[in-house]
């Protein structure tokens, strides 16, 4: 559980208003819940509750919840099953979150016990405690102060949903900070941070390391990239990425660093610092992943191994199936994705199969009138092509419809899913509406372009441009041919463009690469799609349909970033340079 990547954790953020401070004596008057997945609030729930006991006057004044408001409200046993069901879900790792998590959890857990249900054994995260570790410079860490610090507006203070939404937004900001400043990658990393000591007395050995490295620390640039910590023998201890190498590296050597014991121990052995400037955050993510898997540093716990993402595949049989797979083979099948997790890929598969009544049986199909259809036919989830109840032409028409459903983002999957989600909500079919909503988010996540772009991996021919820290001077260019990263270079917006155009024309005029995807290619594809899902507004994407139009499209896009015709910028080299020579600093 603790090794689960943060983007695969479901955070259940809860705030309660009560008649007092003791969960065994007092009762809730209101509860609100925000479910956070992948740095986004995906659903909300709120309800008043009749506490069946008086509400003290001072609490009525503070919250604005009067006894008249709760007189006709539902009892807790009518409200709590919704909260309990979210906490007990077994399809994803669940974490309970509150700004004062002990208070909120005590009331929620007591209410579940009074229902006669077992209290879910889930990790708990306190945003107040986490803020004390991460939010430097704040004298207080109550919700109002922390929310203001991170620019999160509270619409209704001391009401459950207002406070819950603010807590959820603060949580998202804290997770982003934990990732960028403390290399938090897993749930365990985040849990450890909330319990880390805020001030640790620097040891003599750590002070000596800081003194030895002081000249090198002054040279670290304020640029995105990857940093390397090495020991006396120049073995790599740790590899990390950063939006600002200078800020991130220096954090390790502050007088009162926020680090666990393992990091403190590592710092004692650091004798050399190297780095590689990448131009953009995405470039740093790609290089970090490659380097960790190649060098396998002693103190890197995450990303040591390749983890195959989940894809959906339309097979090449006479009666094709929609399968969930973890590899892309050169077998003529059509692959869609990658998806964030197997669970979400299964949801998309089940939704598409159900919507288009596709078969789920394994193996080749040999239709015959004597065949007895399976249970799916009788519950109208399949039209029975095995028993000749559906012709091969009609079945393939259903497959074509499913393909268009996935491939065309606006008029296909997302547009139709949005309409179906609204219809389900109007019909009070909230379970189906939730499934459709998750499908929309997952297809958006797997999309490298926002409008009308094929999702099939082998049809993914795109160029991505991301401005560097000086957005008018240089951009980093990525080219994906048939889903594979074939080109990556930082270029100057005012530099001669012919070499770039010639190189990219060659990439897309050559035959598409063949063979199954390697682990590295799958990893790169997953990193790029995941980054674009979160940072889509920072990038410009060109879908390559007509190679002859590519020069004009490239020139038009580069002109958007160019400051002026007279500015000349020398483009850095495309390949990551070799690490510079080590300086021993007398060690």
How many Å apart are CA 201 and CA 182, to the nearest integer?
Answer: 19
What confidence score (pLDDT) does residue 134 get? 87
How many Å apart are CA 141 and CA 132, to the nearest integer?
Answer: 7
What confidence score (pLDDT) does residue 124 get? 96
Q: Class of 6-195 per CATH?
A: alpha beta
Q: Class of 204-295 per CATH?
A: alpha beta
DSSP 363-402: S-----TTPPP-HHHHTTSS--GGGTSS-HHHHHHHHHHH
What confidence score (pLDDT) does residue 480 get? 94
What confidence score (pLDDT) does residue 561 get? 79
pLDDT tens for the chain, residues 1 to 587: 788 888 889 999 999 999 999 999 999 999 999 999 878 888 889 999 999 999 999 999 988 999 999 999 999 999 999 999 999 987 789 999 999 999 999 999 999 999 999 999 999 999 999 998 888 778 899 999 999 999 888 877 778 888 999 999 999 999 988 887 777 888 988 988 888 765 555 566 667 888 889 899 999 999 999 999 999 999 999 999 988 899 889 888 875 546 666 777 888 899 999 999 998 999 999 999 999 999 999 888 777 888 888 899 999 999 999 999 999 999 999 998 888 777 778 877 888 898 899 999 988 899 999 999 999 999 999 999 999 999 999 999 999 988 877 765 444 455 666 666 677 767 766 666 666 666 666 666 655 544 444 457 888 899 999 988 765 688 899 999 999 999 999 988 888 899 999 999 999 999 999 899 999 999 999 899 888 877 777 888 898 989 999 999 999 888 887 753 333 333 333 333 333 333 333 33
**CA-CA-CA-CA dihedral for 371, 376, 377, 378, to nearest 10:** 110
Pairing of strands 462-467, 540-543: antiparallel
How does 369-404 read in b/e, with b if 16+ C-beta sit within 10 Å?
eeeebbebbeeeebbbbbbeebeeeebeebbeebbe
- The structural domains of the chain, with segments of one domain joined by +, span 6-195, 204-295, 310-445, 461-561
What confidence score (pLDDT) does residue 440 get? 66
Residue for token pair 């619409």 = 155
């Amino acid at each position: 559980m603790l090794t689960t990547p943060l983007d695969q954790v479901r955070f259940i953020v809860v705030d309660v208003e009560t008649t007092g401070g003791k969960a065994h004596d007092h009762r809730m008057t209101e509860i609100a819940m925000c479910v956070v997945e992948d740095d986004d609030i995906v659903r909300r729930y709120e309800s008043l509750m009749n506490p069946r006991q008086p509400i003290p006057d001072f609490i009525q004044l503070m919250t604005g919840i009067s006894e008249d408001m709760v007189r006709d409200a539902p009892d807790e046993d009518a409200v709590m099953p919704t909260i309990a069901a979210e906490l007990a879900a077994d399809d994803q790792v669940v974490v309970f979150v509150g700004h004062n998590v002990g208070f909120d959890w005590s009331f929620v857990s007591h209410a579940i016990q009074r229902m006669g249900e077992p209290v879910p054994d889930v990790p708990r995260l306190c945003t107040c405690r986490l803020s004390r570790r991460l939010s430097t410079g704040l004298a207080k860490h109550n919700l109002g102060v922390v929310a203001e610090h991170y620019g999160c507006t509270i619409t209704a203070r001391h009401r459950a949903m207002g406070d819950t939404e603010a807590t959820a937004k603060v949580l998202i900001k804290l997770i982003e900070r934990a990732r960028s400043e403390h290399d938090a990658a897993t749930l365990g990393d985040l849990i450890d941070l909330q319990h880390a000591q805020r001030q640790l007395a620097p040891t003599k050995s750590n002070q000596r390391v800081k003194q030895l490295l002081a000249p090198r620390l002054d040279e670290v640039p304020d640029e995105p990239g990857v940093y390397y910590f090495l020991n006396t023998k120049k073995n790599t201890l740790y590899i990390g990425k950063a939006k600002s190498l200078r800020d991130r590296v220096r954090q390790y050597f502050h007088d009162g660093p926020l680090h666990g014991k393992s990091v403190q121990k590592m710092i004692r052995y650091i004798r050399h610092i190297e780095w590689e400037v990448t131009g953009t955050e995405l470039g740093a993510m790609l290089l970090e992943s490659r380097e960790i898997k190649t060098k396998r540093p002693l103190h890197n716990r995450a990303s040591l191994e390749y983890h195959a993402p989940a894809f959906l595949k339309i097979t090449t049989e006479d009666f094709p199936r929609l399968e969930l797979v973890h590899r892309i083979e050169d077998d003529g099948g059509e692959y869609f994705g990658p998806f964030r997790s197997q669970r979400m890929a299964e949801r998309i598969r089940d939704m598409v199969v159900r919507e288009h009544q596709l078969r789920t049986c394994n193996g080749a199909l040999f239709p015959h009138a004597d065949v007895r259809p399976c249970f799916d036919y009788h519950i109208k989830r399949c039209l029975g092509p095995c028993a000749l109840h559906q012709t091969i032409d009609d079945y393939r028409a259903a497959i074509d419809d499913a393909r268009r459903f996935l491939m065309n983002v606006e008029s296909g999957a997302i547009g139709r899913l949005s309409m179906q989600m609204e219809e389900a909500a109007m019909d009070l079919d909230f379970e189906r509406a939730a499934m459709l909503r998750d499908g929309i988010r997952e297809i958006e996540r797997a999309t490298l372009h926002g409008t009308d772009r094929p999702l099939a991996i082998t049809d993914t021919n795109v160029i991505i441009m991301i401005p560097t820290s000086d957005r008018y001077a240089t951009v980093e260019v990525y080219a994906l041919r048939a889903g594979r990263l074939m080109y990556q270079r930082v270029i100057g917006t005012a530099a001669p463009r012919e070499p770039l155009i010639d190189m990219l024309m060659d990439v897309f005029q050559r035959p598409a690469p063949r063979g199954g995807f390697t682990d590295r290619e799958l990893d790169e594809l997953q990193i790029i799609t995941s980054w674009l899902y979160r940072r889509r507004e920072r990038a410009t994407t060109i879908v390559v349909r007509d190679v002859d139009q590519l020069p004009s499209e490239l020139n038009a896009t580069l002109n958007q970033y160019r400051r002026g015709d007279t500015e000349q910028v020398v483009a850095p080299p495309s390949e990551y340079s070799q690490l510079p020579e080590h300086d021993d600093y007398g060690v």
